[in-house]
Amino acid sequence: MAFSPEIHPLFPVSPLQRLDGAPRQLPTYRGDVAVVGTGVAGLAAAITAADRGLHVLLLSKGNRSQTNTFYAQGGIAAAMGSGDSPDFHAADTLKVGCGLSDSSVAESITQNAPESIRWLQSLGMRFDLEEDGNLSLGKEGGHRAARILHSGGTLTGKEFQRVLGNHAENHPSIDIIEGFTAVEILKDAEGEAAGLVGLMCGNANGGSSAPVLIEAREVVLATGGGGQIFRETTNPESATGDGIAMAIRAGVDLQDVEFTQFHPTILYLAGAARFLISEVTRGAGAILRDRTGHAFMEAVHPDAELAPRDIVSRGVFRKMVDSGDTHVYLDFSSVSNACQRFPELARITKLFGINLEKDSVPVRPAVHYFIGGIRADLEGRTSLVGLRAAGECAATGFHGANRMGSNSLLEGLVHGRRVGFSIGEAFDRPGRRPLLPMPGNGQVQDGAALHMLDMTYSLKSLMWRQVGIERDRAGLEDALSRLSAWESYLANLGPFTPEGVETVNMVQVAQAVTLSALFREETRGTHFRTDFPESKESGQSHTLLTADAGGLHIRSQPVTVFERAR
């Protein structure tokens, strides 16, 4: 079945059609601002807004530490060393972005990086230091200077989560609600965002759930990416694209969701969790080798292991395909004191009988980061008044078509703070407002008709196989046809539970990614089309996707244009 690249006629169905009742009848929580997500972007936005006197409801799907931030190993990029500068950092970011980065956004975020690092330090953030007491700065792919700050080697994310999480927990103007699965964005009679409907579990680790209403004058989505739509991923199980899916159903513009970044090195052993092996290990001298011991990346790119991640990922993938192997190897023999430098990696590999300093580690690529997402400006404003987006679920134009290593924690930190500050400075919207009716009437079929785990496995395998590192029209069209069939019955038959909502979200985000990948008929950054292997030399543009009553609409937009909601 072939699809027009400009429109996909199936409108994404809301899981709320399985819910009976009016919004005002639900148990209700009220605040000035509702922030969905407790990673770096959500925490930074919540703290900054609360510091300006606003009452913030900070909503977490599970335990508030179950975030991509917590698992981040690489570090945070900031021009803090001698001979480096924010302008130099911005230039590197723009180069890696392959023509789709917004120069004003890159300049703003990199200029604000040093001050944001000092803000973190004032909250108690502990960065690794050299013997002389200066910051220890590492180097990663795409960076021409050493500007990567780490905590505990590869434990940077845990330190972020500790510092920001503790500060939010102790803030008098922040209420943290765990076990909350956001389901839908609510609009008022003026068509503006006015809150959320969600499912509240009895505890943060699951259990039975019940619908609740969140009323807020500003809603911030900081829900992270959707790495769980792919079979091989470094993301935690909670990364199901919830914010992006809610934005689709609310008719909010998405941007460049075809760009999903693959990390080239995850631990690949039968039965082992897909443990990410940070790029900092290659910066320290670890070498990628095939099964014969040949260091193959030198023939792929002049920077070898420190080439941009999309190039390293494709180099590893192509070596696997050509050799018929399921993985390659990462050799640490030339890294001095590897076990001391990377203690968590040494601990994990030792559990599987691998001595990090003597044995090569089997690795392969996996989906790591959503570059595209909800279209947002530097204040987080989207195409829907009252709705903002920050962090990985947002597409600000910072990363362009390819994310440079350790720029993600930076964007989440700087962007989240700016979103919170902007809300605090411009907070003048009225209080309670009439809400538009929700879409459901409760008259649906029994959810037991679907096996949700089988649906999820089928989705993840399809996306990895046909919308993965290498793509082509035939594979994308077939994937879109299958996804459309699944989506057409999933929202009706799936249970109105956190698991059922997540599955709907994953399928709808997968549709958006696939349709956008089909629309972009070129290779650029992380998006590689084997049937269009060259990049277009002129007319560089973003891919915009919006849902309305006619279905999913997709179009091109010049790089420098952003139509703000207000």
Q: Mind listing the pLDDT tens digit for each residue in 220-253? A: 999 999 999 999 998 989 999 999 999 999 999 9
Phi, psi of 7 (to 5 degrees): -150, 140
Query: Is 367's pLDDT higher than 70?
Result: yes
The amino acid at residue 291 is R
Cα torsion for 136, 367, 227, 418, to the nearest 10°? 40
Model confidence at 18: pLDDT above 90: no
Assign 30 a pLDDT band (cuts: 50, 70, 90).
Answer: very high
Q: What count of Cα atoms within 13 Å lies in the side-chain half-sphere of residue 399?
A: 37
DSSP string across 379-419: T-B-SSTTEEE-GGGEE-SSSTTSPPTTHHHHHHHHHHHHH
- d(CA 553, CA 547) in angstroms, rounded, equals 6
The yes-or-no verdict on residue 22 having pLDDT over 80 is no
Percent helix, strand and coil across the chain, each to the nearest 5 = 35, 20, 45
- The residue type of 270 is A
The pLDDT-based confidence of 439 (bands split at 50, 70, 90) is: low
Residues 6 or more apart whose Cβ sits within 8 Å of residue 104: none
The contacts of residue 296 (CB under 8 Å, 6+ apart) are: 288, 289, 290, 315, 319, 328
pLDDT at 314: 93
Q: What whole-number distance in Å separates Cα of residue 469 and Cα of residue 317?
A: 8
In which element (H, E) is residue 37 found? none
pLDDT class of 370 with cuts at 50, 70, 90: very high
Distance CA 486, CA 367 (A): 22
Residues 512 and 552 sit within 8 Å (Cβ to Cβ): yes
pLDDT tens per residue across span 474-501 = 999 999 999 999 988 887 788 889 999 9
537 Cβ neighbours under 8 A, 6+ residues apart: none
Beta bridge partners of 547: 552
Q: Is 309 a catalytic residue?
A: yes
For residue 259, the one-letter residue type is F
**Nearest residue to 64 (alpha-carbon basis) of 168, 138, 147, 144:** 168
Q: Measure the CA–CA gap between 524 and 116, rounded to whole angstroms.
A: 31
Other Cβ atoms less than 10 A from the Cβ of 291: the count is 14
Structure confidence at residue 21 as a pLDDT band (50, 70, 90): low
Residue with tokens 């922030």: 35
User: What is the C-alpha separation between 61 and 36, in angstroms, rounded?
Assistant: 8
Render pLDDT for 280-294 as a digit per residue (tens, 0 to 9).
899 889 999 999 999
Q: Is the pLDDT of residue 16 over 90?
A: no
Tokens 């770096």, located at residue: 40
Distance CA 525, CA 516 (A): 14
Q: Residues 307-342: pLDDT tens digits?
A: 888 889 999 999 999 999 999 999 999 999 999 988
Compute the distance between CA of residue 256 and CA of residue 93 in angstroms, rounded to an integer: 17
**Percent above pLDDT 70 for the chain:** 91
Buried (b) or exposed (e) across 369-403, using 16+ Cβ within 10 A?
bbbbbbbbbbbbbbbbbbbbbbbbbbbbbbbbbbb
Strands 28-36 and 206-221: parallel
To 5 degrees, how large is the angle CA 384–CA 389–CA 392? 145
Secondary structure class of 274 (helix, strand, coil): coil
What mean pLDDT do residues 141-159 have? 89
Contact call for residues 535 and 310 (beta carbons, < 8 A): no
Residue 53: CB atoms within 10 A of its CB come to 10
The residues, ordered by sequence, that sit 6+ positions from 100 with a Cβ below 8 Å of its Cβ are: 256, 397, 400, 401, 524, 525, 540, 542, 559
By the 8 A CB rule, do 300 and 289 touch?
Answer: no
The whole-angstrom separation of Cα 163 and Cα 383 is 32
Residue 276 has pLDDT above 90, yes or no: no
- The pLDDT assigned to 432 comes to 59
Nearest to 153 by CA among 345, 380, 415, 425: 345
pTM of the model: 0.91
| From 42-56, 298-312, 315-329, the region with the lowest mean pLDDT | 298-312
pLDDT of residue 156: 92
Residue 1 banded pLDDT, cuts 50, 70, 90: very low
Rg (CA), the chain: 22
Question: By mean pLDDT, which of 252-256, 461-465, 558-562 is the weakest?
Answer: 558-562
Closest among 526, 137, 499 to 311, alpha carbons compared: 526
Contact 224, 509 (CB under 8 A): no
| Arithmetic mean of pLDDT over the chain | 90
Report the candidate in 188, 192, 184 with the shortest Cα–Cα distance to residue 437.
188
pLDDT of 566 > 50? The answer is no
* 219 in Cβ contact with 386 (< 8 Å): yes
Q: Which of 282, 309, 375, 417 is catalytic?
A: 309
The structural domains of the chain, ordered by start, are 31-259+369-425 (3.50.50.60), 260-368 (3.90.700.10)
List residues bridging with 543 in a β-sheet.
556
Taking each helix axis from N to C end, the angle separating 407-425 and 103-123, rounded to the nearest 10 degrees, works out to: 90
The structure tokens 């009742």 sit at: 21
Give the end-to-end CA distance of the chain in Å, rounded to a whole number.
40
Please, are residues 219 and 192 in contact by the beta-carbon 8 Å criterion? no
